[in-house]
Amino acid sequence: MGIFGLSLRNLLRHPVRSLLTALSLMVAIFLLCSLRSMVTALTAAATEASTTRLWVQSAVSLYVGMPLSYPTRIEAIDGVKEAFPFQWFGGVYQDPSNFFGQFAVDPEKLLRAYPELVWLEGSPEDFIGTRTGALVGTGLAKTFDWKVGDKIPLSGALFPHPDGVDVAWDFEVVGIYEASKASLDENTFFFHWDYFEKTLEVDRDAPVEVGAIVVSIEPTTSATRVMSEIDALYENGPQRVQTTTESEFQAQFASMFGNVPFFVSVIGGAVLAAIVLACINTMLMAAREQTHDIGIMKSLGFPDTSMFRLLLTQSFLLCGVGGAMGLGLALGSEGGMRELVSSMLPAYRILDETKILAVVLIVVIGLVAGIAPALRSSRLKCIDALSARE
Amino acid sequence: MSNVMIAARGLEKTYTRGEETLRVLDGLDLQMDAGRFNALMGPSGSGKTTLLNLVGGLDHADAGSLEVAGEELAHLDSGSLAHWRAQTVGFVFQGFNLIPVLTALENVELPLQLSPLPRSQRREHALHALELVGLADRARHRPKQLSGGQEQRVAIARAIVTDPKLLLADEPTGDLDRASADAVLDLL
């Protein structure tokens, strides 16, 4: 029976208390992994954003449209490869709770600007050549069980169909993609700008406007210069614009959820701190109960370092088991969690850095919870420890 | 070669409890030879346990010299004293002092953890010590599953398993009934 075995036996001396402490740590680590994954999912698009894509929006707000002539003029700026409308559609599929992003885009320019878009089914030619064709992310295809050839009706909540409010916009799934980077959402529905524009033009006095423009620039071009030039181009109207990098644009989009990362971090941190205190309490109680045993072992000749190791090993064991269960639970439920939050946080996944953080935290909690009892036990005078009673 | 096992000269030990200072050992001179069975007798509070604690290296004297098994204990720091205890002394306490979460066999094997013996030999030695005290059939029992007399016999097995030079027993029959006490004294 070595130090490890004795540590285990000591933990099992009060199995219910040890189990409850381990379970509380399990919950804390599970929460930490899940909450952190939500934060990383929220900011993933900004973190992995392309450096060769810029976003142009009205300087007033993302909800204010810009004249359709803007992309053409922007393309004339030195270093700009292409610019195209990226229009939020805001349609409803069957039920308003089926929320996902739908964008009217130029198909050819989209495919050139987004090399991270990987075709799973269908082909670029089908998408480009089909006026009502829709290219959908694999996340959406899985959620709604869509296949290539399926007809998808969307009610135009923001842009009602000219034939009537009750008339749906008809689309046909012509392609399914997945994203090789988090900069592209796998729960997005792309369709033809032409179909959008021409359908709306039928019964509209005012010209169709565009809410956002994606600008693709040469890799060697200075994004700062291009952004300045675009902003300067429309400084005097008709609609002033604000050009940002994709990273800034995505971060701005994420900030529309409020300071969620901050609150999530605070909640996660508070839960963790409470659990650390619980672990420290458990270990202090354990050390106090084992004082007499420590006296016995010291009388037999066990050195102070062995007592230090005994208590620290117990702490690491307790925290290790609880933490491992929490990490295991987080990893085991990753798929289910992803489905649960897919509409809001499609990039939800437990990153390696989150796993490493969890492991580091488990070790740190084990150390913090065990260090005081371990030091106390090692410093106890043999004669004093022997006179202690549980 | 000297046959002296314990040599104390001018040994002093004082305890402080609150504002009261208790001089338990006051310039004690003592010599005991190896190979002998010695009994210390005296009224309660006379310092028997204090002396045993000092001789066993569980505590330090305030003054004086104490040489046990050829080692001047005052010269040893905490770590060296622990090592010396493991090599030299076997203790039998009044309250048995067995680790409650370990079986009888594991309790007896515990001091051997500090020896270089491989696990199989440690087990063998511990089982042999339990056989010597007549408790081989209780090897898998925990202290709570044993009677007081059996617990003390396990404690004796633990004390002798390392074959120490010095066996110290502090009122080993103090917590036992007459029959168990006789059995333990016979064993010692």
Residues B109 and B175 placed together within one structural domain of the fold? yes
Of the residues B29, B47, B75, the one at which a domain ends:
B75
CA A230/CA A242 separation, integer angstroms: 8
Give residue A389's pLDDT band: very low, low, confident or very high (50, 70, 90).
low
Residues of chain B in contact with residue A12, where contact means CB-CB under 8 angstroms, are: 101
Tell me, yes or no, whether A331 lies in a domain: yes
- pLDDT tens digit sequence for B77-88: 888 999 999 999
Domain containing residue B181: 89-188
Nearest to B86 among A12, A300, A304 (CB): A300
Q: How many domains does chain B have?
A: 2
Locus of tokens 């971060």? A251
Residue A368 near residue A315 (C-beta atoms within 8 A): no
Whether A296 and B98 lie within 8 Å, measured CB to CB: yes
Of the residues A178, A206, A239, the one at which a domain ends:
A239
Tell me, yes or no, whether B51 lies in a domain: yes
Residues of chain B in contact with residue A292, where contact means CB-CB under 8 angstroms, are: 97
Residues A305 and A374 placed together within one structural domain of the fold? yes
The residue in chain A having the minimum alpha-carbon distance to the alpha carbon of residue B112 is A300
Of the residues A204, A239, A274, the one at which a domain ends:
A239
Residues B71 and B120 placed together within one structural domain of the fold? no
Residues A177 and A75 placed together within one structural domain of the fold? yes
pLDDT at A257: 63
pLDDT at A68: 84
Give residue A356's pLDDT band: very low, low, confident or very high (50, 70, 90).
very high
Whether B58 and A299 lie within 8 Å, measured CB to CB: yes
Residue A305: which residues within 8 A CB-CB, separation 6 or more?
A378
pLDDT at A258: 61
Whether B110 and A383 lie within 8 Å, measured CB to CB: no
Residues B161 and B184 placed together within one structural domain of the fold? yes
Residues A193 and A262 placed together within one structural domain of the fold? no
Domain containing residue A369: 3-45+258-386
Judged against a pLDDT cut of 70, whether residue B11 lies above it is answered with yes
Tell me, yes or no, whether A249 lies in a domain: no
Residues A165 and A188 placed together within one structural domain of the fold? yes
Higher pLDDT pick, B187 / B135: B135
Judged against a pLDDT cut of 70, whether residue B1 lies above it is answered with no
Query: Does A293 lie at the interface with B, CB-CB under 8 angstroms?
Result: yes
Whether B110 and A1 lie within 8 Å, measured CB to CB: yes
Token pair listed for A159: 């842009």
Residues A216 and A90 placed together within one structural domain of the fold? yes
Residues of chain A in contact with residue B114, where contact means CB-CB under 8 angstroms, are: 300-302
Residues of chain B in contact with residue A377, where contact means CB-CB under 8 angstroms, are: none
Residue A192 near residue A133 (C-beta atoms within 8 A): yes
B105 Cα to chain A: minimum distance (Å): 10
Residues B49 and B100 placed together within one structural domain of the fold? no
Query: Does B167 lie at the interface with A, CB-CB under 8 angstroms?
Result: no
Tell me, yes or no, whether B27 lies in a domain: yes
pLDDT at B51: 94
Size of interface A-B (CB pairs under 8 A): 66
Tell me, yes or no, whether A65 lies in a domain: yes
Residues A266 and A346 placed together within one structural domain of the fold? yes
Nearest to A303 among B82, B110, B111 (CB): B82
Residues B100 and B57 placed together within one structural domain of the fold? no
Residues A75 and A223 placed together within one structural domain of the fold? yes
ipTM: 0.91
Judged against a pLDDT cut of 70, whether residue A46 lies above it is answered with no
Residues A265 and A358 placed together within one structural domain of the fold? yes
- pLDDT tens digit sequence for A12-24: 999 999 999 999 9
Query: Does A136 lie at the interface with B, CB-CB under 8 angstroms?
Result: no
Q: Mean of the pLDDT values across residues A62-81? A: 85
Query: Does A387 lie at the interface with B, CB-CB under 8 angstroms?
Result: no
Tell me, yes or no, whether B7 lies in a domain: yes
Residues A214 and A320 placed together within one structural domain of the fold? no
Residues A76 and A213 placed together within one structural domain of the fold? yes
Q: How many domains does chain A have?
A: 2
CATH number of domain containing B32: 3.40.50.300
- pLDDT tens digit sequence for A254-312: 666 667 777 777 888 888 888 889 899 999 999 899 999 999 999 999 999 999 999 99
Tell me, yes or no, whether B102 lies in a domain: yes
Whether A9 and B110 lie within 8 Å, measured CB to CB: no
Residues B41 and B94 placed together within one structural domain of the fold? no
Give residue A198's pLDDT band: very low, low, confident or very high (50, 70, 90).
confident
User: CA angle, A195 as apex, A194 and A196 as ends, to 5°?
Assistant: 90
Give residue A218's pLDDT band: very low, low, confident or very high (50, 70, 90).
confident
Of the residues A210, A239, A268, the one at which a domain ends:
A239
Query: Does A379 lie at the interface with B, CB-CB under 8 angstroms?
Result: no
CA B58/CA A386 separation, integer angstroms: 10
Tell me, yes or no, whether B13 lies in a domain: yes
Residues B126 and B180 placed together within one structural domain of the fold? yes
Tell me, yes or no, whether B83 lies in a domain: no
Residues A15 and A130 placed together within one structural domain of the fold? no
Of the residues B19, B51, B75, the one at which a domain ends:
B75
A317 Cα to chain B: minimum distance (Å): 17
Tell me, yes or no, whether A50 lies in a domain: no
The residue in chain A having the minimum alpha-carbon distance to the alpha carbon of residue B158 is A300
Tell me, yes or no, whether A20 lies in a domain: yes
Residues A311 and A376 placed together within one structural domain of the fold? yes
Whether B99 and A293 lie within 8 Å, measured CB to CB: yes
Tell me, yes or no, whether B84 lies in a domain: no
pLDDT at B125: 94
DSSP assignment string, A87-109: EE---BSSSTTS--EEEEE-HHH
Residues B62 and B95 placed together within one structural domain of the fold? no
Tell me, yes or no, whether B177 lies in a domain: yes
Whether B82 and A297 lie within 8 Å, measured CB to CB: no
Of the residues B75, B97, B131, the one at which a domain ends:
B75
Q: Residue A83 — φ and ψ, nearest 5°?
A: -140, 140
Token pair listed for A197: 């524009």
Whether A382 and B58 lie within 8 Å, measured CB to CB: yes
The residue in chain B having the minimum alpha-carbon distance to the alpha carbon of residue A2 is B113
Q: Which helix (H) or strand (E) holds A177?
A: strand A169-179
Nearest to A301 among B83, B97, B109 (CB): B83
Query: Does A225 lie at the interface with B, CB-CB under 8 angstroms?
Result: no
Tell me, yes or no, whether A247 lies in a domain: no
Strand arrangement, sheet containing B20-33: B20-33, B4-17, B63-68, B71-72
Most confident range (mean pLDDT) of A90-94, A157-161, A320-324 is A320-324
Tell me, yes or no, whether A52 lies in a domain: no
Whether A299 and B102 lie within 8 Å, measured CB to CB: no
The residue in chain A having the minimum alpha-carbon distance to the alpha carbon of residue B54 is A383
